[in-house]
Every structure is written in structure tokens, then in C-alpha cells.
A and B are shown apart, each in its own frame.
Chain A
Amino acid sequence: MEGRKLTLRAAHDYDPDVPRLPLGSQRLVVVTGKGGVGKTTVTAALARAAADAGRRVLAVEVGRGSLGTLLGTPQLGGEPTRLAARLAAATIEPEEALRDFVEGVLRFRMLARRLLESTSFQVLAAAAPGLSEFLVLHRLLEWVDARRLGRRAYDLVVVDAPASGHSLPLLAAPRTLGTLARLGPIAEMLAKAERLLADPDATLVCIVTTPEELAVRETVELHRELTERLRLPVAPPIVNAFPPRRFARADIEGLDRLDAALGEHPYLRAARLQLARRGQAETQITALRRALHETPVRLPFVFTAPEEPAGLSALVAELAASAGLAA
């Protein structure tokens, strides 16, 4: 049985027309994209799908957002919270990471707090190039490598990274900082981070977008930056909120006849709106495919809120299918 399943999956691999998320044995998945396209939802769904498939997963959010709500725990902390048998989640607050770092250097919490509150230090923190990115990466790396009882604590760490503009500095940090720090513990950690991020067997970067012009444009730019400049392993883009197909080609004629007869009937208005949005989305996904020469992964628009169990489950199933994650 197992053997046959594997063969089937391998066949799936080579079908050029089937959009596929190349998730194999990677230990780190970084989810990024334009603000508001559903990065956090995709992160939550992917973490769920991988956990359902038997992997031990840690879902991580950078800054405070809605990852906890989506996974059923409103409040995430700086340390991983166990949510299910194989699923944990945590948040990395750059400011908290900075505080931890300063406390580590100064040893006294009181002193650290006074320092952190001083304008001088805030100026300095802004000045030290990539300090906060460094601290976020540092924390991530700890989790990717965390061990418990002699084996890895997590098979997979999925990160809901900051929106495009801010995830670039994060992903570029090992390079930009690496040129400044050549020796010492920081240089070592940066070299390690760079190796991990660039290794296609260890890391996968996913760009999420919606089928809308501005989001698609930003996705193309981000994809180029990540692959050409930073040379990171980037998955085909994930197009979220794709209006589902609701009408067959043959239906259109029937709708036209009804239009002529009935005009403003709400059922027809609904159908027209749906068809128009679907058409727009097709145009945008085609533009995306042409620009990147890759077949995007589609996730359907969810009419019930993704915060509701049914909403997220639909996406979990879709992602499990396209990533070849068998439950």
C-alpha cells in the first residue's frame, strides 16, 4: 500500500500542469507576501495540514497578529504553546527579542528597562543595521534546531513573516550583516542562518498573493528579489481567495437569456458578479504565470470566515493536496 502511494505521488510530481507546492523534507517554511493577502491564514492552514500528516509543527508569527485566533488560541506567547498533539505556536516580538538580548548583556532587568526606554537607545537600535532582523532570525534558528529527548523538537517550523517590504530585510539579514560581522559568535550564527535559508532541502519560501493587479505585481517583484538577488528556494506563488468556478460554459447562454427576460433579479446579479470576478482572477493568475514561468497554487475564496473551523479546514485540505501531504 505504502509503495503504491509513493508511486502515485511521484507521478503527481512530474505532471507539469498540476500546480504543486514542493514541500518535501524542509524544516523551515517562510510565508510572505503583500499585506492583507492572507499570509497568516495560509501559515495556519499549512501548519495544520503538516501536523495532520504526522509532522511535529511549530507555527510562528513575527509581531502580534491573528495566527493564534486562527489556530484556536487567542494569545500566543514568546515560548511555544502546545495546541494539539503535533502542533505548537509562538510569536516573536522584535521588541521583546531586543529586550531579552539587552538583558542578556546587562544581567539586570531594572537597568535594561531604563536603557530600553531611553531615546538614546532607540536611536541606536534604529542605527545598528539589521539588529532587529538579526534577533528574529536568531530566535527562529533556535527553534529549527531545538532538540528534545535526543531528536528534533519540530520537524517543521512555519513562519508567518512580515509583509513583503519588511520580510526582505529579514531574509537578507545574513548577507547584509555578514559583510559587517566577520568574526565571533554573531558571524557564526549568520553563516549558519545563510546556509539554512539557501538550502532547498531545508527551507522553502512561499509568497502568498490574491488575484488582484497590485498584489500580483508585488509578488512578481518579490519573487525576483528572493530568487535572483538572495538566491533562496522559492515555491510557486500561492494565489489565495480565488473565486471558485460556479458556472459551466454552457450556463452562460442560459444566463444571457434570463438577463434579457428578467433584468435585475438578485440571483442573476449574484451570478454576474461571480463570473466577472472569476474572469478578473483568471486574467491576473495568467499574468502571474507568464511573468514567473511557474504554475501558481490556487486556494479558493472562503465565504465563511477563515476564523471559523469550516473556513480554515477547506484551505487545510487544499494545501495538503497540493503539498502532497497525506493525512
Chain B
Amino acid sequence: MTASLAELLEARRILLCVGSGGVGKTTTAAALAVEAARRGRRTAVLTVDPSHRLKDALGLSTLSDRPRRVPLGSLGARGAHLDAFLLDVKRTFDDLVVALAATPAQAQAILDNRLYQNLSGSLAGTAEYMAVEQVYRLAAEGDYDLLVVDTPPARHAVDFLDAPRRLANLLDSRAFAILKDPTSILPAAGSRLAHMMLSAVLRGLERFTGLGLVREVGEFIGVIESVTGALRERVRAVGALLTSDETAPILVTAPEPRLVAETAALVRGLAGIGLGIDGIVVNRALPRTLFGGAVADPGVPDGVSPALAARLRRCYTELRTLAARQEATLAPLVASANAPVVAEVPLLAADPGSLADLASLARHLFPEAPARAAPASGLGV
């Protein structure tokens, strides 16, 4: 059963915008959020890396946990409620450690561990997890009907969304227990040999690098284990929310050859963590009605000097070439995502930056919408 973009917007609680870098995910998320708010849903948009102009438009000039109310009055939607948040995907694990530790001294012991300092940024996607946690907190405690969530580019989107599971796995793993004391090889079946080898490699690495890895890992696990009970519970709840029916992943993409393989990999990665795409938004498409292969070349308009006529012809022919390439690219891209195209947005002259730009973008996303006063402004200047 496939739903239109409008149905997804009205029925779900979380729209996750996923896709490769540079395809307009952030802008699409913002436009979806503006439209949802105009349709009367209390909406929050959580963005990762907005452009300067978009940041200004959403009132996000400073990084903050606090929501910014986006003034939609100028769009003739005075009662509409839209808050904007900046998702901080670089945020460290430190905040969580401080929040979960029983005492400030315990938190400090973790934060001071040299290995923790190396690990906290990379281990099991803790930074991504922290961003997902923000989403969870808003869903659980915030007073919103809909959250529109922008995610980091393609490959990292899976890390981002999979962060709760990976962190939970780590906390539950035998590795966690064994790292605490790597020389004590547990008599349990299966991986005993692996742990003997682990010790051998660890010693080899230590000899090479001069790092006290074994000892430091042990210390690290020792101190962080004190907070794992609370962490485990939280992580599980966050994971459950992301894979529930309330969440709709939307693939944002563009008809560019590089994206075919990237999209296929992203979709596989998402499927691996239980997320299927609900709809595809295609950005930067050249309008087929103007440049598509099925349209006859209208010929140079009358009354044009031969020099200008040649330039116009060249320019038009180039865009037709590009349109043909886009059409050939789109088919395999859509096939690999295994989801319907729910909207096509034309190649725009400039990156949308203002609230008015977002509203006009929404007209391309929801062409069936009643508020269709202004003409499509995609190709205009």
C-alpha cells in the first residue's frame, strides 16, 4: 500500500529524510515542515547542516538545544506552529555520561580516561547516537504532531539510524566483559580461540605502538560500565521508535549517475536495520515537458540574429542531453529504492534560502495542494 507525500505528511509522526550528500535533503526537510505546519500540524524540523540563508530563515543562527519558533505569518499562515532545531551530530558522548553517572566524580573519572577521549567520538557511533537521542527526546516529551528529521549524508545515515542498536550490542557483547580484563580468557565455548588471538594481537600492537591498550581499555570499560544500565534502556527505546510504523523514511535524491550506486547501498543498509523507504523525492530534475526526449525540438524562435540563434540552440541541446541522461539514470535509481516517486522538484536556478522559497518548493512537492496561487517558479529567475 503506497501513500502519497500528503498522506505521509498528515498521518505519520516522524518523517526521516535520507539520501546522499548534496541532493537537497535539508532544504526538502524544511519545505516539508513548512507545509505540514501550514496544514495545521504542530511541527518541528530537525536539521543537520543548513546553508547560511536557510539557517537565517529558520532562525538557527546559533547552535542551541532550544527550539526556535519559525515565524510563518509572512506566508499567510499565522496560526501555524513550526519549531526548528539544529541537530548536532558532532556532539560528544560527554553529555550523556554526565547525565547518566551517579555522581559528578564518577562522570569525571570517565571523562578523564585517555582511551575514552579517543573512543567517545568514534566508538559505535556515539556521536550519531546522541543526535538520534535528541529526536527521541522530542518525540517523547515535545508537544509535536510531526517531527521532520534531516539526516547526515548517505553512508552515515545508516550509522546514524543504526546507532542505538550498535551501542546496545556493544554494551551486551562479551567483548565488553572481556576487554575489561583481556588476559582472563573465559572458558565458554566458541570464541575462546579468538580471544587468545586477540591477546596476541593486542600485545603485538602494544609493542609496536607503545600504547598501553590493554590496560586502558580495561580501565575505560570499568568506569563506563557503571552507567550502562540506564544507557541500555534508553538505547532500546530510541531504536524501537525509529523502526515503528509512526516513522516514514523518505529518500531524497537527484537524477545523477553517481547516486545510483550510492542509493542502492543506502537502501540495502537501511533494510538491514529494518527501515524501508516510503517514498522518493527527486530533486534537480529538468522538466520533461520542456527538455524530455518525447518532446519535439520547437526550433529557434523567429526574429533572432544568427549568432544568438546558434547560442540558443547549443544551450537548449545541452539541456536536452542532460535531460536524457537524467531519464536514463532515474529508472535504475527508483528501482533500487523499491518505493514510489512521490514528488519531482525541477532544477532550480538558485538554492532555496528564504521561507518564501520553501513555500514555493512545497508547491512542487504537493502539486495537488489547494493553495496553488503562484505559478511554479522553478525555472524562472
- Residues on A lying within 8 angstroms of B by beta carbon are 34-37, 66, 102, 105-106, 111-112, 114-115, 117-124, 126-129, 163, 177, 180-186, 210, 212-215, 217, 246-248, 251, 254-255, 258, 261-262, 265-277, 280, 303-305, 307
Closest to A111 in B: B197
Taking a contact as CB atoms under 8 Å apart, the answer to whether A270 and B198 are in contact is: no
Taking a contact as CB atoms under 8 Å apart, the answer to whether B210 and A276 are in contact is: no
Q: How far in angstroms is the closest Cβ of chain A from B154?
A: 8
Taking a contact as CB atoms under 8 Å apart, the answer to whether B316 and A276 are in contact is: no
Q: How far in angstroms is the closest Cβ of chain B from A285?
A: 15
Taking a contact as CB atoms under 8 Å apart, the answer to whether A215 and B314 are in contact is: no
**Selected interface stretch from B63-71, B116-124, B143-151:** B116-124
* Chain B residue contacts of A254, Cβ below 8 A: 304-305, 308
* Chain A residue contacts of B193, Cβ below 8 A: 111, 114
* Given A266-B291, A304-B321, also A120-B198 (CB < 8 A): yes
Taking a contact as CB atoms under 8 Å apart, the answer to whether B304 and A127 are in contact is: no
Closest to B261 in A: A66
* Chain B residue contacts of A217, Cβ below 8 A: 51-52
* Chain B residue contacts of A183, Cβ below 8 A: 210
Taking a contact as CB atoms under 8 Å apart, the answer to whether B207 and A184 are in contact is: yes
- For B149-182 the 0/1 string (1 means CB < 8 A from A) is 0000110000000000000011001111011000
Taking a contact as CB atoms under 8 Å apart, the answer to whether B381 and A276 are in contact is: yes
* Chain A residue contacts of B170, Cβ below 8 A: 119, 123
Taking a contact as CB atoms under 8 Å apart, the answer to whether A123 and B304 are in contact is: no
* Chain B residue contacts of A128, Cβ below 8 A: 205, 209, 211, 213
Taking a contact as CB atoms under 8 Å apart, the answer to whether B194 and A118 are in contact is: yes
Taking a contact as CB atoms under 8 Å apart, the answer to whether A267 and B312 are in contact is: yes
Asked if B1 is at the interface (CB within 8 A of a chain A CB), the reply is: no
Taking a contact as CB atoms under 8 Å apart, the answer to whether B209 and A276 are in contact is: no
Taking a contact as CB atoms under 8 Å apart, the answer to whether A214 and B51 are in contact is: yes
Asked if B215 is at the interface (CB within 8 A of a chain A CB), the reply is: no
* Given A105-B204, A120-B178, A181-B209, also A266-B298 (CB < 8 A): yes
* Chain A residue contacts of B22, Cβ below 8 A: 34-37, 210, 212, 214-215
Distance in angstroms between the alpha carbons of A280 and B51 in the assembled complex: 14
Taking a contact as CB atoms under 8 Å apart, the answer to whether B173 and A123 are in contact is: yes
Distance in angstroms between the alpha carbons of A122 and B205 in the assembled complex: 14
Closest to A284 in B: B351
- 25 CB < 8 A contacts A-B: A34-B21, A35-B22, A106-B197, A111-B197, A114-B193, A115-B194, A115-B201, A117-B194, A122-B175, A123-B170, A123-B173, A123-B176, A181-B208, A181-B209, A183-B210, A213-B53, A254-B308, A255-B308, A265-B301, A267-B301, A270-B315, A272-B381, A273-B319, A275-B381, A303-B319
Closest to B216 in A: A127
- For B301-343 the 0/1 string (1 means CB < 8 A from A) is 1011100100111111011011001000000000000000000
Taking a contact as CB atoms under 8 Å apart, the answer to whether A272 and B197 are in contact is: no
* Chain A residue contacts of B210, Cβ below 8 A: 180-184
* Chain B residue contacts of A115, Cβ below 8 A: 194, 197-198, 201
Asked if B380 is at the interface (CB within 8 A of a chain A CB), the reply is: yes
Distance in angstroms between the alpha carbons of A248 and B122 in the assembled complex: 52
Taking a contact as CB atoms under 8 Å apart, the answer to whether A258 and B201 are in contact is: no
* Chain B residue contacts of A182, Cβ below 8 A: 210
Asked if B258 is at the interface (CB within 8 A of a chain A CB), the reply is: yes
Closest to A176 in B: B118
Q: How far in angstroms is the closest Cβ of chain B from A188?
A: 11
Q: How far in angstroms is the closest Cβ of chain A from B232?
A: 16
Asked if B277 is at the interface (CB within 8 A of a chain A CB), the reply is: no
Distance in angstroms between the alpha carbons of A115 and B198 in the assembled complex: 7
* Given A120-B175, A121-B201, A246-B311, also A267-B298 (CB < 8 A): yes
Closest to A266 in B: B290
Closest to B300 in A: A267
Q: How far in angstroms is the closest Cβ of chain B from A104?
A: 10
Taking a contact as CB atoms under 8 Å apart, the answer to whether B194 and A120 are in contact is: yes
Taking a contact as CB atoms under 8 Å apart, the answer to whether B349 and A276 are in contact is: yes
* Chain B residue contacts of A105, Cβ below 8 A: 200-201, 204
Closest to A255 in B: B308
Taking a contact as CB atoms under 8 Å apart, the answer to whether A114 and B123 are in contact is: no
* Given A35-B21, A120-B179, A128-B211, also A267-B197 (CB < 8 A): no
* Chain A residue contacts of B20, Cβ below 8 A: 35-36
Closest to A307 in B: B257
Taking a contact as CB atoms under 8 Å apart, the answer to whether B315 and A274 are in contact is: yes
* Chain B residue contacts of A37, Cβ below 8 A: 22
* Given A66-B258, A181-B208, A181-B210, also A124-B179 (CB < 8 A): yes
Selected from A121, A210, A248, A273, the residue in CB contact (under 8 A) with B347 is A273
Taking a contact as CB atoms under 8 Å apart, the answer to whether A123 and B312 are in contact is: no
* Chain A residue contacts of B191, Cβ below 8 A: 118, 120
Taking a contact as CB atoms under 8 Å apart, the answer to whether B325 and A267 are in contact is: no
Q: How far in angstroms is the closest Cβ of chain B from A179?
A: 11
What would 15 more interface pairs be, CB under 8 Å, given A120-B178, A246-B315, A273-B347?
A66-B258, A106-B201, A115-B197, A120-B174, A124-B217, A129-B118, A183-B210, A212-B351, A213-B52, A246-B314, A251-B308, A265-B301, A270-B290, A272-B349, A307-B257
* Chain A residue contacts of B349, Cβ below 8 A: 272-273, 276-277, 280
